[in-house]
Amino acid sequence: MKLGRSFSLDPAPFLKEVKFGPKVIFLCNPNNPTGALAPREDLLEIIEGALKEDALVFLDEDFIDFVEDGASLVGEVEDYRNLFVLRSFTKAYGLAGLRVGYVAACKEAAGLLAKAKTPWNVNCLAQAAALAALNDESYLERTRRFVEAERSFLAGELKRLKALKVFPSSANFIFVDVRRAGLTAAQLKEEMLKRGILIRDCSSFRGLDEFYVRVAVRTREENERLLEALREVVEGRA
């Protein structure tokens, strides 16, 4: 399935592909690396279509904690026996080193997954940290507000650079097309490294060409440093 330049999820062509008989479908919402948030009605349409074709849907919500409440499909798992919602503590909670997450599914589907998973796959320290994180709702809300504010600031300043095309994001990063700058993603990454800043070259993502990068939303000071370096590299190239 080919994606348009907007990188939005269109259920109609997606469901045409589902009729070819895939057994498992993986979706990421918000998407990585674009940061695009698919409407829940579009996702449910795909899940329902997959159910008719007896296909499982694994929905990766690794970045959903950066979105306002109501976007997650965790509450839908009891209505769709083919739906598995994957959640992680890596991004919003910063527990990457503990390698801990969870799956939400209906009882029948969870039972099937339990048969396939390895024993002792989460250690005691990771379990304790995950439970503490889930109970700290104020931390998550502060993190969400912080990321929203800095993402808005960073996206607005990036759009001022005519050599860049900035895509809307609901995650803690921003997806950028750099072709108007006359640079490939690899070339821009190299130039930024010279200035002590690492950005993500997205050319390794299937379906993307060599002109897309992903930049992280960080503190105001770090975001301003990123912007200063980008201006130095790309201004005058558009």
For the domain 145-234, what is the CATH superfamily, name and number? Answer: Aspartate Aminotransferase, domain 1 (3.90.1150.10)
Query: Got the DSSP string for the chain?
Result: ----TT----HHHHHHHHTT--SEEEEESS-TTT-PPPPHHHHHHHHHHHHHTT-EEEEE-TTGGGS-TT---GGGGGG-TTEEEEEESSSSS--GGG--EEEE--HHHHHHHHHHSPTT-S-HHHHHHHHHHHH-HHHHHHHHHHHHHHHHHHHHHHHT-TT-EE---SSSEEEEE-GGGT--HHHHHHHHHHTT---EEGGGSTT--TTEEEEE---HHHHHHHHHHHHHHHTT--
CATH 3.90.1150.10: which residues of the chain?
A: 145-234
The confidence score (pLDDT) of residue 9 equals 87
pLDDT number for residue 114: 86
Which pLDDT value is given to residue 178?
97
Per-residue pLDDT of the chain (238 residues; tens, 9 = 90+): 455 567 888 899 889 988 888 999 999 999 999 999 999 999 999 999 999 999 999 999 999 999 987 799 999 999 999 999 999 999 999 998 888 999 999 999 999 888 888 888 889 999 999 999 999 999 999 999 999 999 999 999 999 999 999 999 999 999 999 999 999 999 999 999 999 999 999 999 998 999 999 999 999 999 999 999 999 999 866 6
Where are the CATH 3.40.640.10 domain residues in the chain?
Answer: 11-135
Class of domain 11-135: alpha beta
pLDDT at 69: 75
